[in-house]
Chains A and B, each alone.
Chain A
Amino acid sequence: MNSKSRYLAYPYSIWMLVFILFPLFLIFLYSITLRNPNDIKTITFTFENFGKFFDPIYVNVLIRSISIAALSTGICLIVGYPVAYLLTRAKDKHKGLMILLFILPMWMNMLLRTYAWMTILGNTGLINSFLNLLNLPNVNLLYNNKAVILGMVYNFLPFMVFPIYTALNKMDRSLIEAADDLGADGFTIFKRVIFPLSLPGVISGIVMVFMPAVSTFVIPRLLGGGKNVLIGNLIEKLFLVTRDWNFGAALSMIILIIIFISIKILNILKIDKESGVSI
């Protein structure tokens, strides 16, 4: 890189500093200080906020958040992989349309998309109205974990499909032909060649779905009805309702560390170092 083009990176570096690193530092600062809204000069350092987390109530919230996020990520993978695979196999003229259909919902606000599910699943929603029409009893579809998982899968599926699609798409077709030529049937080709080579995309997809799924608060609030609090809701409440910024900051730090560690573990599995997300 020559010396002039280096300046091109300055706006983003400043942006990072002001809007990412500085707030992150503030959150860190909040997480290790005592709650003292009156006087900024009498700052006291403590690990109390982190200690508070080890209350079983909060640990359970975290475990529940992680398991729901993991389940959603798993479903996204199972549903998304075949979609990505079919997308690569589609003819060029159909490909554009299929990809468009996939990103079209993403042009709408996530809140709106999630609301839409409420009108489908709700007690007077689309499904129950249809059941009533057939004189069948109402079913409770909304305000439970299944609805939350459905919402997560629906919202985050594209983040799984696209990295896998990219990995599959850049794979050399002749590798599949070579495996075929060497005696591998369709399943063996998938198991021994296609899937291993798409692994970087799979891992990127997992990271990109798991991250927002573990910290979202809109989906559990709207579709979960706030019954089963997830870590995202908890943080939201601590900041906006209880105004306990210090504990909220500590929880945010814990989430940050968990996501960081899981990405690190996944990156060890990653074979192709060039593609996908890496930290």
Chain B
Amino acid sequence: MKESIIEISNIVKKYDDVKVLNEISFNVYKNEFVTLLGPSGCGKTTTLRIIGGFETANEGKVLFEGKEINHLPPYKRQINTVFQNYALFPHMNVYENIAFGLKIKRLKDEIIENKVRRILKLVGLENFEKRDIDSLSGGQQQRIAIARALVNEPKVLLLDEPLGALDLKLRKDMQVELKNIQKSLGITFIYVTHDQEEALTMSDRIIVMKSGSIQQVGSPINIYNEPINSFVADFIGESNIISGVMKDDYQVSFLGKTFECVDYGFKKMENVHIVIRPEDIDIVKKDSGLINGEVKSVVFKGVHYEINVLAKNFEFLIQSTKSSKIGNYVGLDFNPDDLHVMREMHYE
């Protein structure tokens, strides 16, 4: 059994009677990289701020190594935060920023110097000690913010969309780097993002949230392949979500046809959603697939083409390495285990 470092149980947070968190519960294990993923306004940042101590939950408990820390102020928690806008002190240079936490702990000057130098090396900014914060690029400020938090050797590091302001290339590099830092230091990371790709790349576990509730908790592979509802399916990666009816176990009907599937345990004739990932659909010759349609658009995306095929009033999104001609009639083919059947769920 893995050891929990943070336990969140039945957290409720209200702002002026509006519930932004509705009985959230989850555990974070030691040395784990956990991502809170969801669209903006889903409560992921609020959850992080409650763990950091910047907000207090109206109900529920936050446990840190088994002890309740609901009312412990941030400066007494063994948790550090990397803020979304970095929050570097503008009146201090790089060295003073990073040494801030160590000086408060009244460490000896030479120990502080050592630690700062080592952490700067870790984030790849050696000899930046004397630089002004203003003179750094966004990516460099980002690294300093991470260094300033990590130098205190927290047991848990909270990261609030730390890569949001960086360009795509830098973001990808930093994703890998962050993951490496987390592995090499053995610190628990709790990461907040709305970027599903970022979450899939870095996380050990992903917690998908929507309007103040947890939708699904699982490993990236598990969440991608087995989304629990159409919201998760839609949010994690692109999906074709089709309304249908479960005829019987292993029999699902949509777009006027009945298909074989691997799902069971639904009520007979229950209304369901069927999720098909765009990369799971093959384009074949007309009449040799399970359903026919007309090619509506073809977009080159680099590695693959994104092809829209209209079949019986539903426009399928298909990702394929082979191109198609607009206006062609084609067949669409997929395997029974490519159909993910889930209970109907209403969301805006």
- The residues of A with any CB-CB pair to B shorter than 8 Å are 172, 174-175, 177-185, 188, 192-193, 196-197, 271
Contact = CB atoms under 8 A, between A and B. Distances in A.
Contact of B105 (A175, A183, A193): A183
B100 interface: yes
25 contacts: A175-B89, A175-B90, A177-B54, A177-B81, A177-B87, A178-B88, A179-B100, A180-B53, A180-B54, A180-B74, A180-B75, A181-B79, A181-B149, A183-B75, A183-B101, A183-B104, A183-B105, A184-B75, A184-B100, A184-B104, A185-B75, A188-B104, A192-B100, A193-B89, A197-B90
Interface in B71-103: 73-75, 79-81, 83-85, 87-91, 100-101
Chain A binding surface SS class: helix
A243 B84 CA distance: 66
Contacts of A182: 75, 80, 100-101, 104, 148-149, 152
B52 interface: yes
Please provide the 7 A-B residue pairs with the shortest distance between their CB atoms, ordered closest to farther. A182-B101, A178-B87, A174-B87, A180-B74, A183-B104, A181-B81, A183-B75
B91 A197 contact: yes
B104 A172 contact: no
Given A175-B90, A184-B75, A185-B75, 14 more contacts: A174-B83, A177-B54, A177-B83, A178-B89, A179-B89, A180-B73, A181-B54, A181-B80, A182-B104, A183-B75, A183-B101, A183-B105, A184-B104, A193-B89
A48 B75 CA distance: 65
Contacts of A196: 91
Contacts of A177: 54, 74, 81, 83, 87
Given A182-B80, A182-B152, A271-B91, A174 B75 contact: no
Contacts of B88: 178
Nearest to A175: B87
A178 B83 contact: yes
Contacts of B100: 179, 182, 184, 192
A185 B106 CA distance: 14
Nearest to A271: B91
A25 B84 CA distance: 55
A184 B102 CA distance: 10
Contacts of B74: 177, 180-181
A172 B85 contact: yes
Contacts of B83: 174, 177-178
Contacts of A180: 53-54, 73-75
A179 B83 CA distance: 11
B161 to A, nearest CB: 13
